[in-house]
């Protein structure tokens, strides 16, 4: 009898606890979804993962791993012009004008842009003349510093608030818009955000399917309409759904080209107008995606989009596929718009927040 009573009481307690634990399970669902590999392989006792020291160590190891991958993926650029810089500098005792000319040429060849490189070297030559710069190693260090400074465009960081925060993603066809959106959504979801994708690229049915497939894979909902529908009306539906579902972040995918009679820029302007009517101050971020392998052409694209819809950030993709990673410097210097993210491969983790120091360290790394 006593045993039965105890069992009943404990049962009631468990019952009372359940809604809370279900809530917790819901809250941690996102984390588990993306973080399942490590947690499932080696389940840990809760007290083991609590130590600050261990957390710090873990974060350090993770950062190191990410940096290693960045270095590896930037190998073409590193093996390209950066190695040539080293070859030029090796064994030199002093800096002469011939060395400076050769270096200047190398950087221009790496797509850093003629005006950008000339500006950098104007300063370097002055410093050499004033004897502030004496040896080739110091010259390399100074060059790195100059590049980092150029890459640090004064700009407000993306806050991803207020909700719903709307990011409109544009760019010509094939640059990597849809895959970038998937990587970004994956990233934001990992951070615990409620994300919604909008398939406003209605130019071809496959585009909608591609976004839907990604949505399923990363477990993020996608708003779509039948192929050939008006992109602005899909954007409208997307905003309505975002408000109704209390979404944190909405990312709108757009077409890279349209039927010849329809002007891409006009269409984008219309999408932007529709978004702003539905959500105050939106789109909060207009991201233009540029393909690093297209070189200087990427800059003309950026200018066109910027004139039409006012770009607030750049995503530079396929940096792993070019030896001319110098394009990063050229784009930032000419556009004065920050690079928000870089694409360094096809894996989900290959979309990185752009950090000028880390990037320059990675491409100038010795091995």
Point out which residues bind ligand GTP (CB under 6 A): 171, 173-179, 201, 207, 256, 317-318, 320-321, 343-346, 350
69/177 with CB nearer Mg ion: 177
Give helix 52-73 / helix 356-364 axis angle, nearest 10°.
Answer: 60
| 322 near Mg ion, rule: CB under 5 A | no
Closer residue to ligand GTP, CB minimum distance, 174 or 295? 174
223 binds, among ligand GTP, Mg ion, none (CB under 5 to 8 A by kind): none
The three-class DSSP label of residue 340 is strand
- Tell me if 178 contacts Mg ion by CB under 5 A: yes
Q: Which stretch binds Mg ion (CB under 5 A): 45-53, 176-184, 292-300, 335-343?
A: 176-184
Question: Cβ 256 to ligand GTP, closest distance in Å?
Answer: 3
For residues 285 and 170, what is the distance between their CA atoms, to the nearest angstrom?
11
Dihedral in degrees, nearest 10, Cα atoms 160, 363, 183, 27: -60
* Interaction between residue 254 and Mg ion (CB under 5 A): no
Phi, psi of 156 (to 5 degrees): -75, 140
Count of residues of this chain found to bind Mg ion when the rule CB under 5 A is applied: 3
Closest CA to 209 of 239, 242, 217: 217
Beta carbon nearer to ligand GTP, 30 or 322: 322
Instruction: Rank residues 146 and 179 by Cβ distance to ligand GTP and give the closer one.
Output: 179
Phi-psi region of 323 (alpha: psi -120 to 50; beta: other; left: phi over 0): alpha
Q: Which partner in ligand GTP, Mg ion, none is near 321 (CB below 5 to 8 A by kind)? A: ligand GTP
Nearer to ligand GTP, 272 or 352 (CB): 352
Q: Which is nearer to ligand GTP, 171 or 231 (CB)?
A: 171
- In this complex, which beta carbon is closest to Mg ion, that of residue 254 or of residue 322? 254
335 binding partner (options ligand GTP, Mg ion, none; Cβ < 5 to 8 Å by kind):
none
Among 351, 342, 365, 345, which residue's Cα sits nearest to residue 151? 342
Cβ count near 2 (within 10 Å): 6
DSSP code of residue 81? I
Burial code (b: 16+ CB inside 10 Å, e: under 16) for 136-175 equals beebbebbeebbbebbeeeeeebeeeebbbbbbbbbbeeb
**Which residues, listed in sequence order, are joined to residue 313 by a DSSP beta bridge?**
287
Site for Mg ion in 192-211 (CB under 5 A): 207
Which residues fall within 8 angstroms of residue 291, CB to CB, at 6 or more apart? 174, 175, 176, 298, 317, 318
CB of 181: closest distance to ligand GTP in angstroms? 8
- CB of residue 217 vs ligand GTP: minimum separation in angstroms? 13
306 contact choice in Mg ion, ligand GTP, none (CB below 5 to 8 Å, kind-dependent): none
Q: What is the binding site for Mg ion (CB under 5 A)?
A: 177-178, 207
């Amino acid at each position: 009898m006593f045993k039965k009573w105890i069992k009943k009481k404990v049962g009631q307690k468990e019952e009372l606890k359940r809604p809370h634990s279900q809530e917790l399970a819901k809250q941690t669902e996102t984390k588990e979804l993306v973080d399942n590999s490590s947690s499932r392989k080696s389940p840990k006792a809760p007290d083991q993962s609590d130590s600050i020291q261990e957390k710090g160590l873990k974060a350090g190891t993770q950062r190191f791993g990410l940096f290693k991958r960045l270095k590896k993926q930037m190998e073409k650029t590193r093996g390209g012009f950066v190695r040539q810089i080293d070859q030029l500098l090796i064994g030199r005792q002093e800096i002469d004008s011939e060395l400076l000319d050769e270096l200047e040429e190398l950087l221009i060849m790496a797509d850093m842009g003629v005006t950008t490189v000339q500006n950098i070297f104007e300063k370097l030559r002055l410093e050499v003349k004033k004897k502030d710069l004496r040896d080739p190693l110091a010259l390399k260090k100074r060059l790195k510093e100059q590049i980092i400074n150029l890459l640090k465009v004064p700009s407000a960081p993306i806050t991803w608030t207020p909700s719903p925060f709307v990011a409109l993603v544009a760019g010509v066809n094939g640059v990597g818009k849809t895959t970038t959106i998937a990587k970004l959504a994956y990233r934001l979801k990992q951070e615990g955000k409620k994300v919604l994708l909008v398939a406003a690229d209605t130019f071809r049915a496959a585009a909608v399917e591609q976004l839907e497939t990604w949505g399923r894979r990363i477990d993020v909902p996608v708003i779509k309409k039948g192929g050939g529908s008006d992109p602005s009306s899909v954007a409208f539906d997307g905003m309505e759904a975002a408000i109704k579902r209390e979404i944190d972040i909405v990312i709108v995918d757009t077409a890279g080209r349209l039927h010849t009679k329809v002007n891409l820029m006009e269409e984008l302007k219309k999408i932007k107008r529709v978004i702003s009517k539905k959500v105050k101050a939106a789109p909060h971020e207009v991201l233009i995606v540029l393909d690093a392998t297209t070189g200087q052409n990427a800059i003309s694209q950026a200018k066109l989009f910027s004139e039409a819809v006012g770009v607030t950030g750049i995503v530079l993709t396929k940096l792993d596929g070019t030896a001319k990673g110098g394009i990063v410097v050229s784009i930032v210097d000419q556009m004065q718009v920050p690079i928000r993210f870089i694409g360094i491969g096809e894996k989900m983790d290959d979309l990185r927040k752009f950090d000028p120091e880390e990037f320059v360290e990675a491409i100038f790394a010795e091995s």
